[in-house]
Structure 1
Amino acid sequence: MMKDLTSSDITRQNILNNDYALDRIEFYLALGGTHWEGKRVFTKTQVANLLQIDERTVDRYLESNKEEISKNGYAILKGEELKKFKEYVGGIDAADISKAPSLGVFSFRAVLNIAMIVTESQRAKDIRGKILDIVMDVVAQRSGGHTKYINQRDEGYLPSVYEEYSYMEEFVSALDEYLQADNWKYGKYTNAIYKAIFLENMAEYKKILSLPKKDKARDTMYAEVLNAIASFEHELATEMSNSYKKLGRKLKPPELDKIMEEALKNPFLTPHIEDARAKMASHEMCFRDALHEKLERYIQSVPKSDFDKFLGETSKSLEERLSDPETLAVLKRLKDR
């Protein structure tokens, strides 16, 4: 489902925000350029030669994608900075820079950025193919080959699981004590919570992630999603208790349905729900190549910090976390609250 890089700015930015993949791409592609002030830079002439296009084509893409390419490292050197660059490169591309009052230079990220959007170049198309292959390899390798459970590599995952489990128990108890309904109420209202938060029921969610029937959906959910579910469950349990005391009897299903509708309008819950939708939609597209169509409008590029969270040095498998004394200490504190 990986989108066409030439048409998806979010997919492009997800790659350019992934420093782990960029290191591997830079090593394998060996695009050249000039090392200056600790980074690899390219002049417009070098970019045109690299992509086998003329400089006017480079200018055209710069003009139509200026904000995006600038964000990823395109800069214009002037004055003293340009003077230093000219002195540093010496005879390299002298015709390109010797008399210019200013000079546009591309970082390695900016070169990849423009290679992702140029449609006239076979060379750019080849680079895009290699980029996608390397990105998928890096994500698979750094996640231990299990992107289905990449959510569990976040150090915030286990505390969120514990919190959500506690509030789930509170909600289940509230259903027993305050709702007049048969045993089907547990499955019905679990699905209702899912639909309220991320607009899908459990069956839809599992189908999108190709989860076997035996797999637990919540085991694959990100910490932000679990936090939103916990907040929603706590709100429902609290309001059910209040309504029970006010009415002096158990609630009927339509009355609980009304409570759920009102909870969705709660201004204190709204930020949690919106954050859960954005994180779920964006992370699923980036890390699991899965599209939740009902959340498509929430998809954003994944920030660099989240690549560190799931692929970096602080990310660990669930097994590693459960053997970590610091994590166990956090869970004990939560238990003893």
Structure 2
Amino acid sequence: MAQNLTESSHDRQNILNNRYALQQAEQRMEPGGTFYDGELVFTKQQVMTLFEIGDATIERYLASHDDELKSNGYQVLRGIKLKEFKDLAFGTLINEGTKTSVLGIFSFRAVLNLGMLLTESEPARILRSHLLDIVLDVMAEKSGGHTKYINQRDENFLLASFQEDNYRQLFTDALDNYVEGNKWKYGNFTNLIYQSIFKENATEYKKILKLAKKDKIRETMYSEVLTLIASFESGIAHEFEASSKRKGGKLTQREAKELISGFESHPLFKPLITDARTKMASRDLCFRDALHEKLEAYIQAVPEADFEKFLGEKSRSLEEQLSDPETLAVFKRLKDR
């Protein structure tokens, strides 16, 4: 994870979208505040005290990062909502002005957001350090300390892996039957598919994820990436067969490579490739601290749903999934088709 949270908006949002990290932060920090509308909130004066900054500093960040702070829980109270909050605060708003007609309040999430932005506050610097430690602790606890295979905690991984394995066989059979070449063509053409989808060959991918020689690449891939690879393999196998029959003989490797190149630029696959690149680049940076430099333009904040997918109650290790009778029954039905 990038250490300079003050500069990286997607790294800030990755922390703020991780409700497990936020829960731990609230428990460890005991920040005070007031419960309003079902959540812990803080007035501007309380935030100024917390971070040892002045009113002008807060106003400057509210102006420069308005959308970000509002999306993470900063709001301005007026009218009935302000009256309700004043009644809850029991006189603690003395420094805010008792006759104020508007009042800005920060959710705990927005307080953390501001703390990750402030460059002129020592308490904010300390908070950022604590947050990074909390995120690492939560990730280790929830993943069992094995982020290399965090992709397998997705309940869709097993099915995607099973289906991809079947389409992989179709692809290798098509290479045997319809494309000229020696045994090295399997690895070469697999790399062409990888490069079409996520711009890396197998060696580059292994290096980025720090995989051992014996590690199988596809066991580390997200279900969405496996499904897209399966679509490529199935479609390319079909095109190999059709082109070979039109030609009346096996395709040369050059002809086969041109077919694969066409898949990458096909309008049908473009949005799917973009989605796969975004998920792979963003998740690997967040969960595995692995940067795919060739996909850097696709990095976004990981949505809250992904933290539930890989760290939440529904996420389970592969061993737990394989011991589930219902899961085994599904795979038996697929195998018997």
- TM-score, normalised via structure 1 length: 0.98
Matching of residues 246-285 of structure 1 within 5 Å:
246-285=246-285
Contact 2:45–2:95 (Cα < 8 Å) also in 1: no
Q: Which residue of 2 aligns with 1:201?
A: 201
Shift of 1:31: 1.4
Q: Deviation string for 1:204-251 (max 9, x for gaps)?
A: 111111111111111111111101111111111010011011111000
For 2:14, the aligned partner's letter is N
Matching of residues 297-336 of structure 1 within 5 Å:
297-336=297-336
State the distance in 2 between where 1:66 and 1:326 align.
Answer: 48
Distance 1:333 1:101, change over 3 A: same
Shift of 1:93: 2.4
Matching of residues 47-126 of structure 1 within 5 Å:
47-126=47-126
State the distance in 2 between where 1:130 and 1:282 align.
Answer: 23
State the distance in 1 between where 2:7 and 2:90 align.
Answer: 38
Q: Work out whether 1:180 is the aligned partner of 2:180.
A: yes
Alignment gaps of 5+ in structure 2 = none
Q: Which residue of 1 aligns with 2:224?
A: 224
Contact 2:15–2:135 (Cα < 8 Å) also in 1: yes
Q: Size of the alignment, in residue pairs?
A: 337
State the distance in 1 between where 2:224 and 2:94 align.
Answer: 52
Contact 1:179–1:251 (Cα < 8 Å) also in 2: yes
Shift of 1:335: 2.3
Contact 1:227–1:272 (Cα < 8 Å) also in 2: no
State the distance in 1 between where 2:157 and 2:235 align.
Answer: 21
Structure 1 stretches of at least 4 aligned residues deviating more than 4 Å after TM superposition: none
State the distance in 2 between where 1:263 and 1:251 align.
Answer: 17
Distance 1:336 1:315, change over 3 A: same
State the distance in 1 between where 2:118 and 2:167 align.
Answer: 50
State the distance in 2 between where 1:333 and 1:73 align.
Answer: 47
Greater mean alpha carbon deviation, residues 94-103 or residues 138-147:
94-103
Alignment gaps of 5+ in structure 1 = none
Shift of 1:97: 4.3
Q: Deviation string for 1:71-117 (max 9, x for gaps)?
A: 00000000101011111112112231411111000000000000000
State the distance in 2 between where 1:301 and 1:258 align.
Answer: 35
SS at match of 2:95: helix
For 1:249, the aligned partner's letter is G
Greater mean alpha carbon deviation, residues 82-91 or residues 121-130:
82-91
State the distance in 1 between where 2:121 and 2:137 align.
Answer: 25
State the distance in 2 between where 1:68 and 1:274 align.
Answer: 24
Contact 1:180–1:251 (Cα < 8 Å) also in 2: yes
Contact 2:284–2:291 (Cα < 8 Å) also in 1: yes
Query: For the aligned residues, what is the CA RMSD?
Result: 1.0
State the distance in 2 between where 1:128 and 1:75 align.
Answer: 23
- TM-score, normalised via structure 2 length: 0.98
Contact 1:243–1:251 (Cα < 8 Å) also in 2: yes
SS at match of 1:104: strand
Contact 1:97–1:103 (Cα < 8 Å) also in 2: no
State the distance in 2 between where 1:188 and 1:149 align.
Answer: 25
State the distance in 2 between where 1:334 and 1:274 align.
Answer: 29
Shift of 1:271: 2.4
For 2:327, the aligned partner's letter is T
% identical equivalent positions: 55
For 2:161, the aligned partner's letter is V
State the distance in 1 between where 2:285 and 2:2 align.
Answer: 8
Contact 2:86–2:93 (Cα < 8 Å) also in 1: no
Q: Which residue of 1 aligns with 2:42?
A: 42
For 2:233, the aligned partner's letter is E
SS at match of 1:45: helix
State the distance in 1 between where 2:55 and 2:253 align.
Answer: 67
Greater mean alpha carbon deviation, residues 47-56 or residues 265-274:
265-274
Q: Deviation string for 1:272-327 (max 9, x for gaps)?
A: 21111011000001000110000000111111111000000000000000011222
SS at match of 2:301: coil
